[in-house]
Structure 1
């Protein structure tokens, strides 16, 4: 999010796109196993007045290159030099074709080694790589420039996401002293629900805290259920819905955690919706695949 609160940006670099209908079809045809490097994408979502964009063009192995410090996906790339992550974006907005081009530079204040399982079998893991960071956004198309607070994390799994989960809510918020609080509220298919609540400091250290009571938020236009925790019997307040899809929602909300009133970036995922055939038939309109 920008420091003035007027702009937002989400970037997800996929190796084996968890939402890909093409990846799901390949696994079905090939007996449950397919090469994840053949289903890669750079998802870019820009928010702000006059600057909303969405890209997620999927590409196969012939269009990518990967190493420990560099990841090329078609004309876009990510590069880590030991101090900062540079993301060069050259994509096309969907469904209405518009160029999305620019550079995003993320400078971590410290790196974090926290990793935890999200399911009860340990087959799906989440770890914030740099939960306290600064971002510089310089876009040519659309033309905009801003700086703000940023966050980098990683998710990985040993099986398709629909095998392990019903749904989850995730939220992160910047604290007054520069720390970042994160709540991951997960409903696995096996065993009890899991709530991971951690406070991360700029030096990479982290401290668990007990997540307060969970409150239901208004459902989205696609009827995606949302929920968030908050202290002192003060229900969270939904500020805006940034992304509203048949299976996923990204929102801004106000809540109270660790004695502070915070503005949080919040995400909700309905996993059975992801795996449903109606949704998978709709997804190519938002997630085209480059085959040449």
Structure 2
């Protein structure tokens, strides 16, 4: 399961159309969404309804988006949601609570200009999931991070591969493999420990993976003695792929969540016209 809370949804065609090509004239709070993606035996669910400002309420410890909300109580993050999927109108209703092992203050620029930043908030966490629709429950490991930017995401980047793996000691290793339009590649490789501290490490060599049905060329950094293999492709879209991979990292064989983003495709007219089918809007 993944969920992403957007203020100024970077993939929103409505946000782009409201402010032109760079969305500088648009109010980000008028383009918010809670994206939920559920995978597994209960069946796949996908929700990403964009909502305007009248549906939003934000404070230091709460973010309400229509019928869903995120709330921090000082010890855990509670996410309650009641959303309808698209394009298949299936309900996703329930609650998730994330208990951080420790909070992390790490933050770094993704681009050479420093206009796009990423940092984990609680990279080593425990999650409790209770869904009413579909009716499933489980507990496990969770990862929570944050991205922010001062310009459209397609401006500095061509593409990136991102991966996150839980290591044997419970720590989390993340690799951001970024290709910019101007300037060289940026590779960020960080290990986040259970106490909230972080250690940089040298990312292993890049290996090509099989392309997706939408012809996205994925790559993964893995130790040569453990070639990367695709266990499952969870999302296959014209500009984005999410997968589960097996690879070698820091002397271990790990299973990673892996994402590939191809930014020039996001802004093409065919993609912009397709997105409302997956991302309806309530103004």
TM-score, normalised by the number of residues in structure 1: 0.95
- Deviation, 1:32, is 3.6
> Which residue does the alignment assign to 2:174?
182
Deviation track 1:2-49 (CA, whole Å, cap 9, x = no partner) reads xxxxxxx00000000000000011111897421100000000000002
> Which residue does the alignment assign to 2:235?
243
> Which residue does the alignment assign to 2:57?
65
Of 8, 23, 48, 1:16 maps to 8
Deviation track 1:216-272 (CA, whole Å, cap 9, x = no partner) reads 111111111111011134320110001111110100000111000000000000101
Task: Map 1:70-81; keep pairs closer than 5 Å.
Answer: 70-81=62-73
Deviation track 1:174-201 (CA, whole Å, cap 9, x = no partner) reads 0000000000000111211100000001
2:37, 2:17 → 1: CA distance? 25
Kept in 1, the 8 Å contact 2:157–2:179? The answer is yes
Of 252, 266, 279, 1:274 maps to 266
C-alpha distance 242-29 of structure 1, shift in aligned 2 (>3 A): closer
Of 120, 134, 158, 2:126 maps to 134
> Which residue does the alignment assign to 2:186?
194
Kept in 1, the 8 Å contact 2:211–2:218? The answer is yes
> Which residue does the alignment assign to 2:281?
289
> Which residue does the alignment assign to 1:56?
48
Of 203, 215, 227, 1:211 maps to 203
2:23, 2:10 → 1: CA distance? 17
SS of corresponding position for 1:163: coil
2:80, 2:69 → 1: CA distance? 5
1:196, 1:56 → 2: CA distance? 29
Which is further off, 28-37 or 155-164? 28-37
C-alpha distance 31-100 of structure 1, shift in aligned 2 (>3 A): closer
- Deviation, 1:51, is 2.6
> Which residue does the alignment assign to 1:46?
38
> Which residue does the alignment assign to 1:6?
none
Deviation track 1:86-113 (CA, whole Å, cap 9, x = no partner) reads 0001100111112110001111000001
Structure 1 unpaired stretches of 5+: 1-8
1:111, 1:288 → 2: CA distance? 34
> Which residue does the alignment assign to 1:225?
217
* Superposition RMSD in Å: 1.1
- 4+ residue runs of structure 1 moved beyond 6 angstroms? none
Structure 2 unpaired stretches of 5+: none
TM-score, normalised by the number of residues in structure 2: 0.98
Of 59, 76, 91, 1:84 maps to 76
> Which residue does the alignment assign to 1:4?
none
2:158, 2:227 → 1: CA distance? 24
Kept in 1, the 8 Å contact 2:42–2:136? The answer is no
> Which residue does the alignment assign to 1:264?
256
Task: Map 1:108-127; keep pairs closer than 5 Å.
Answer: 108-127=100-119
Aligned residues: 283
